[in-house]
Homo-oligomer: A and B are copies of this chain.
Amino acid sequence: MAQNIYDDPAFFGGYSELPRSVHGLDAAPEWPALRALLPALAGKRVVDLGCGFGWFCRYAAAEGAREVLGLDVSENMLARAKAQTSQASVGYRRADLETLDLPAAAFDLAYASLALHYVADLGRLLATVQRALVPGGRFVFSIEHPIFMASRQAGWIAHAGGRAWPVDSYFREGPRTTTWFTDGVVKQHRTIGTTLTLLMRHGFTIAHVEEWRPSDAQIAAQVALAEELDRPMFLIVAADR
Residues of A within 8 A of B (CB): 147, 151-153, 157, 159-172, 191-193, 196-197, 200, 205-211, 213, 228-232
Contact = CB atoms under 8 A, between A and B. Distances in A.
Contacts of A170: 147, 211, 229-232
Nearest to A163: B168
13 contacts: A151-B164, A153-B162, A159-B166, A164-B168, A165-B166, A167-B231, A169-B229, A171-B230, A172-B229, A192-B209, A193-B210, A196-B209, A197-B209
B169 A167 contact: no
Interface of A is mostly: mixed
A166 to B, nearest CB: 3
Nearest to A210: B193
A169 B230 contact: yes
Contacts of A231: 167-168, 170
Indicate how many identical chains form the complex.
2
A234 B151 CA distance: 18
A162 to B, nearest CB: 7
Contacts of A157: 157, 159, 164, 166
Contact of A211 (B161, B166, B193, B228): B193
A200 B207 contact: yes
Contacts of A168: 162-165, 230-231
B164 A147 contact: no
Given A147-B170, A165-B168, A166-B166, 8 more contacts: A159-B166, A167-B230, A169-B229, A171-B229, A172-B229, A191-B232, A193-B209, A205-B205
A231 B193 CA distance: 13
Q: What 5 A-B pairs come out closest when comparing CB atoms?
A: A164-B166, A153-B161, A193-B211, A171-B213, A206-B206
